[in-house]
A and B are shown apart, each in its own frame.
Chain A
Amino acid sequence: MKGIKKVLVVGSGPIKIAEAAEFDYSGSQSLKAYREEGIETVLVNSNVATVQTSYGMTDKLYMVPVTWWSVEKVIEQERPDAIAIGFGGQTALNVGVDLYKRGILQKYGIRVLGTPIEGIEKALSREKFRETMIDVKIPVPPSFSAKSSEEALEKAEEIGYPVMVRVSFNLGGRGSTVAWDRESLRKSIDRAFSQSYIGEVLVEKYLHHWKELEYEVVRDSKGNSAVIACVENLDPMGVHTGESIVITPCQTLDNKELQEMRTLSMKVAESISLVGECNVQFALDPSSYTYYVIETNPRMSRSSALASKATGYPLAYVSAKLSLGYTLEEILNKVSGATCACFEPSLDYVVMKIPRWDLQKFEEVDTSLSTEMKSVGEIMSIGRSFEEALQKGLRMLDIGEPGVVGGRYYMSTAPKDDALKKLSKRIPYWPIWAAKAFKEGASVEEVYKVTGVDRFFLRKIENLVKTFEGIKGSKLDLEKLKYLKTLGFSDEQVAVAINSSEEEVWKVRSSNRILPNIKLIDTLAGEWPAVTNYLYLTYVGSEDDIELNSTGNNLLIVGAGGFRIGVSVEFDWGVVELMKASLKYFDQVAVLNYNPETVSTDWDVTRKLYFDEISAERVLDIVNKEKYTYVATFAGGQLGNNIAKKLEERGVKLFGTSGSSVDMAEDREKFSKLLDKLGIKQPEWISARDSGEIRKFVDQVGFPVLVRPSYVLSGSSMSIVRSEQELEEVIQRARLSTRYPVVISKFLENAFEAEVDAVSDGKGVIGVVMEHVEEAGVHSGDSTMSIPTRKITPVVQDLKKISLTLAREIGVKGPFNLQFVIKDNMPYVIEMNLRASRSMPFSSKAKGVNLMEMAVKGILQGLDLDEFMEPESKSWAVKSPQFSWTQLKDSYPFLGPEMRSTGEAASLGTSFYDALLKSWLSCSPNRLPKQGKIALVYGKENIDSLREAGQNLERYGLTVNTLDFAEISGFDVVNPEDALSLIRKGQVDLVVTNGYMKNLDYNIRRTTVDLNIPIILNGRLAKEVSHAMSLNEMTFYEIRRYGGGI
């Protein structure tokens, strides 16, 4: 395409449910594809934790809100020739449509790359999509659109119940729901309307237990197209595809079904004039050849990222090339290195995706899976049998399951009915419940009836149960062991079945060289020799595809695994940066990871990639087969650290800090003794095994205390306890035992929290000190962070001194993060982690110093320091948490010591308030409230800050109301019912509160988030944000101008 010298790529902003790290991957690929053509790239993305927001990926970077008004500011300065809106999820697509509708693109003469806006609109409006489908004779489910609740109810009668209500122009199926009768429809319809971007919903026939399928289509500007993958959902229609366990290629379709729907998917692409990539969803009757098209996403999506990783076909890269006018035939298949992109991958393995949920962290949340997405991450597993892929997948989730069978629930005494009940309620991770049901005698038909999962897959799970039960108590022979391995059994599972230990099974296996084979993903099922190193391991097969490396100085980096709350794209950043930084020191650097959303699992970024489990067993298998001088476990968060000790014990050399040093910091008792020895203060704490110990401790230190029950047993989360009564409840719930003690510590009220991100070589430290806006007690992941510090500046030198002392004493080699509480100018250490931290991409980008690069230097060359060195701040940087309350249906929004945010955004600014306001506005649904509207300000904690916030908001131009049960003096009081009605009527444009008052304000908070009205849940933050609003001074510069960026 001629005349394109500069492209503006729109990112997806902070991670929220349904818009996650897959857009870091697709955005990165698009940037690479454009830069290869000599085109200058300008990226707009506030997601500081991503890999794409660095100069290795883009020429220019604007870390500002991903909204039309913000992007317009960037356009004014940069004057790009074209804009790419297909790589930043729905957020980017919405921004593109907004810019177009407001005439901004036209005004600056900017071309939209890829699918034209008209095509996008056809795909995104349900009604337009349906009309388009009917025009081109593509079957769609019987349905009607409605513009009001009354109309929706009327239409539902015509179609007949059950019906499905879908929202137009949405993310993650938000606001869509199944109604079995008139009453249930009436209950959910208002919420559906409130979610609709264009005030329209679709009422359609609910296809109970129909199969759901997705096709990934690429199409070029000349109309050539190819279908890259068919993805089969195991969960039936009615479970959002993001919530479904899926398999690719499609397993239960015959040629007629597969091809007829394939042809239609290409027709759908044609009907929206697609240039690039889209996915098309189908519903298929499980007992006839009837099928319907459900929807299309005319952009890179979660499923296209998955399809890329599953097949090896780089959809985003190809899509970006197509957007420049190339044809499929002109693009080389980078995997084979010999064939063109006009082909459809063939797989000689199967791939499964299993979502990861974190629902136990939320109070009142609806835990059954439905048409809305609630999962916070996903894993992808590769195997050459269904059983192998599924069992690997369940282990990859890192939820304590050893596979499909043999886990805690499986081995429990729960009866069949309990398992069937869990299945029918669609509680996450259904294969575990299904296995238990089979073990307790349920038939395939019984399980089918409650799940709608194809019997083909259920039989396979039933067979796993039979196999596992069949070997119970038997002696292990090597042939049997090999066979079990082809079905994906882990050493631990085998040990459980035969009453042995995991170590024993491992020993038998490794001494007999029963090891998995390393196979190549080549997009062509072996037909052509491939040139990449995209690998997985399997026991189904008898030879390795690669020449095993047996010499050289090699490094294996362990990735972060599946994302969940607390572990997200920031750890993938760590993995990628570590990989890049270590390339020059090693002959070979390989990555082991299994998260399909990530950049680190892009075979085009990683020199050698094992897409496989992260477990001690699998790492040992790899180092047993191939020579790795070191294994790095510190970059990907806690997952790596958890296996570090075991690896070291079995002879693996760890890169950086030793396993025993890690243990010294992570074992509470040991760490506490060390702090005492060094004279460093810490909040008092005990590990209690019975209620007597707890009471004695509380008598000593007094309320409030922070209670951290063992999650393994109680499933309940960390909480701050302020009274006898609360303590009693917590003790009840925690189910104390000697095996799972409860950790209780003194909670310091109204204290500041700060942390240090740093690296050390055991002598010196390079680090960054960050201050939280919220007080201690709000989880650091849910806190707003500032660089440089503001209120704790007097003690910064103390924090640095403590960091240096600890790093030297423990012998830290590599990255670490140290958390402090500061009360009355006295720092207390609360936690130290000897690994990359969540905030490291932020601290690195704020200061313009890549801490992960420093870590490698520190480990291998030393830092040449004998002090704590903090790079100078040239501006202000603020990081804000992104919550997904809206998506987490029924959950009660509040902040506490348990992390609940799903992502983060950051901005740099010339002042703290400049950075804060942009950072806060980067998180959805935050926006500047409309002057003249109402702000509701109430709460039970941080009263003074809340009052100040209210005054700021009045100054900004809002009417401030407060609530009678949690009044903030100085404002008009309304009762909860009136407040609720004001919120519903759209008169409230901001809610500000603090504290936990579930019994009093559940409906207010819930309605606020359901209606996408901004809510601030902390007084101190509210005070600062409201002040920033009243100043309303924002700058929009390329981040180098702020002295940041790496």
Chain B
Amino acid sequence: MTYCKRGTEGLIYLEDGTLLRGCGFGAKGVRYGEVVFTTAMNGYPESMTDPSYRGQILIITHPLVGNYGVPDPIVRNGILQNFESEKIQIEGLVVTEETDPSKWNSSKSLHQWMVEQGVPGVSSVDTRLLVKKVRTLGSMMGVIASGEQVEDPRKHIELRYDEIDFTRFTSPKSPIIHQNNSPDIIVLVDCGIKHGILEELYKTGFTIVRVPCKSSADEIMNYSPKGVVFGNGPGNPNILKDLVKNFSAVMEYKLPTLGICLGHQVATLALGGNVRKMKFGHRAINKPVTDVSNNKCYISTHNHGYGVYKEDIPPDTQIWFVNPDDGVVEGLIHKKFPLITTQFHPEARPGPNDTTWVFQKFKKMVIKDEGN
């Protein structure tokens, strides 16, 4: 057997038949999900609580994870400052080594946190081997087990990731209001919003109303918003027909609109473009995006398994950002409506703050629109 510091074994299984045995940590249990990897070298509390990871087993490629532990949540104006949502969203975590923390503001270890939240983890497996599999064969379903015997891991895979609407788990049931200095309202369609986005929006000074993902255009317009934001969220945009329909309906009002990540994909679909599943997606905090209007290059945070390709952009839109490495469209600007979108995460968390100006740009759009 492998030497395991917690005396627990664990395994990770990929659909192609790859089975790696290592050590278990976190909660005991068996979970399944789409297996994806992030190359971010820190920021695990943020990544693990990012609702966009719902339904996914996350591999972290950097070998040491947990070094600075997990802090107590800090909440300001109803917005989490150091997590992306209230709980761990991933189905399971795969790392090379789960470490014991040391940090002035750490309240618990990664292991303890995952125990509390009921999320299993596996360590002491060759994560690079897994990454190479995913890189070569594409994202696939997998099973993670910690401290439990698994006879036939295949039997644990119940549904395909692409077929599940995860937003019903990550979207709030009723509206949430973050009152601000300005009475002017921005409605945020929350399909599992990252608190980083909330925070950046809140910094614009507007009052933010988070409405459930399935809210209709009327429900949104009832708030008389000065602008609308379609945020990030988990899963396959192609099955979120209602959301796409609602987006189209909201567009009729020609309000300043910002789409981020899932919001960018939904906008693309609503406007007549296509969104395709990528081979293994972008999940990293080191990705370049080029603003094609001025050829400026930014380092940005990505977390998307679906993407818009150049040939798939909707009519009346122009490419705003592109990833110079693989040509994936990372942002759009509408030629007629005040709509801008980014596929990447300008709020970062975790990641570089080089593109937070996107929120300022949106703010200007809202103010300008008001002037009109």
Interface residues of A (CB under 8 A from B): 222-224, 226-227, 249-256, 258-260, 262-263, 266, 286-288, 327-329, 338-340, 342-350, 384-386, 454-456, 459, 479-480, 483, 517, 519, 524-529, 540-543, 545
When chains A and B are docked, how far (Å) is the Cα of A459 from the Cα of B64? 14
Q: Is the CB of B68 within 8 A of A259?
A: no
Give the contacting residue for A455; candidates B102, B128, B135, B353; CB below 8 A.
B102
* Among candidates B100, B126, B127, B352, residue contacting A259 with C-beta atoms closer than 8 Å: B352
Q: Which of A260, A459, A541 interacts with B102 by CB under 8 Å? A: A459
CB <8 Å contact, A253 and B63? no
Residues B100 and A459 in contact, CB atoms below 8 Å apart: yes
> Which residues of A are found within 8 Å of B187, using beta-carbon distances?
none
Contact B129 A543 (CB under 8 A): yes
- Which stretch, B85-93, B256-264, B282-290, touches the partner chain A? B282-290
Please, how many angstroms separate the alpha-carbon atoms of A517 and B20 in the complex? 16
Question: Contact between A329 and B297 (Cβ–Cβ < 8 Å)?
Answer: yes
Interface bits B52-66 vs A (CB < 8 Å: 1, else 0): 000000000111100
CA distance A338 to B326 in the complex (A): 9
Select one of B61, B129, B353 contacting A541, CB under 8 A.
Answer: B129
Q: Pick from A255, A385, A456, A459: contact of B63, CB below 8 A.
A: A385
In whole Å, how far is B135's beta carbon from the nearest beta carbon of chain A? Answer: 6
For B13-50 the 0/1 string (1 means CB < 8 A from A) is: 00000001000000000000000010111110110000
Interface string of B199-230 (1 = CB under 8 A from A): 00000000000000000000000000000000
Tell me whether B103 is interfacial, beta carbon within 8 Å: yes
The distance in angstroms between the C-alpha atoms of A850 and B290, with both chains bound, is 48
Whether B75 is near chain A, meaning CB under 8 Å from some CB there, is: no
B61 in contact with A329 (CB, 8 Å): no
Tell me if B3 is interfacial: C-beta within 8 Å of chain A. yes
Chain A residue numbers with a CB within 8 Å of B129 are: 541-543
- Asked if A342 contacts B324 (CB within 8 A), the reply is yes
Whether A343 pairs with B3 at a CB distance below 8 angstroms is no
Q: How far is the CA of A528 from the CA of B42 in the complex (A)?
A: 20
Interface assignment of B151: CB less than 8 Å from any CB of chain A: no
- Contact: A340 with B324, CB < 8 Å? yes
B295-344 contacts to A, CB under 8 A, are 295-299, 324-325
The 4 closest A-B pairs by CB, nearest first: A346-B39, A255-B43, A456-B102, A483-B3
Question: For the complex, what is the distance from the CA of A227 to the CA of B299, rounded to whole Å?
Answer: 9
A348:B350 contact, CB within 8 angstroms = no
Quote the shortest CB–CB distance from A545 to chain B (angstroms). 7
Residues of B close to A543: CB separation below 8 A: 126, 129
Secondary structure at the B interface, as helix, strand, loop or mixed, is: loop
Give every chain A residue within 8 A of B39 (Cβ-Cβ).
346, 348, 524-527
Given the known interface contacts A288-B104, A527-B135, the answer about A340 and B288 at a Cβ–Cβ threshold of 8 Å is yes
Q: Are A346 and B62 in contact (CB under 8 A)?
A: yes
Residues of B in contact, count (CB < 8 Å): 56
Residue picked from A327, A346, A454, most chain B C-beta under 10 Å:
A346
Of A250, A338, A344, A349, the contact of B42 (CB 8 Å cutoff): A250
Tell me, in angstroms, the Cα distance from A347 to B178 when the chains sit together.
39
C-alpha spacing A545/B348, complex, angstroms:
31
Contacts of B96 in A (CB 8 A): 348, 384-385, 540-541
Subset of 26 A-B contacts with CB under 8 Å: A224-B296, A251-B64, A252-B103, A254-B43, A258-B43, A260-B353, A328-B297, A339-B288, A342-B288, A346-B39, A346-B284, A348-B128, A348-B131, A384-B63, A385-B63, A454-B102, A456-B103, A479-B1, A519-B128, A524-B39, A525-B131, A526-B128, A527-B37, A541-B126, A541-B128, A542-B20
Residue in A254, A266, A479 whose Cβ sees the most chain B Cβ within 10 Å? A254
B128 touches A346 (CB 8 A): no
- CB neighbours (8 Å) of B77 from chain A are none
Query: Does B351 sit at the interface, judged by CB under 8 A?
Result: yes
A254-B103, A258-B42, A327-B295 known; 8 new pairs, CB 8 Å cut-off, are A259-B348, A259-B352, A327-B297, A342-B324, A346-B284, A350-B64, A517-B126, A525-B62
Contact B3 A527 (CB under 8 A): no
How close is A257's CB to chain B, nearest CB, in angstroms? 9
Q: Is the CB of A345 within 8 A of B286?
A: yes
A483 nearest CB neighbor, chain B only: B3
Contacting residue for A222 out of B37, B46, B287, B295, CB 8 A: B295
Q: Whose C-beta in chain B lies nearest to the C-beta of A338?
A: B325
Chain A: which residue is nearest B196 at the CB level? A255
* Beta-carbon nearest neighbor of A230 in chain B: B41
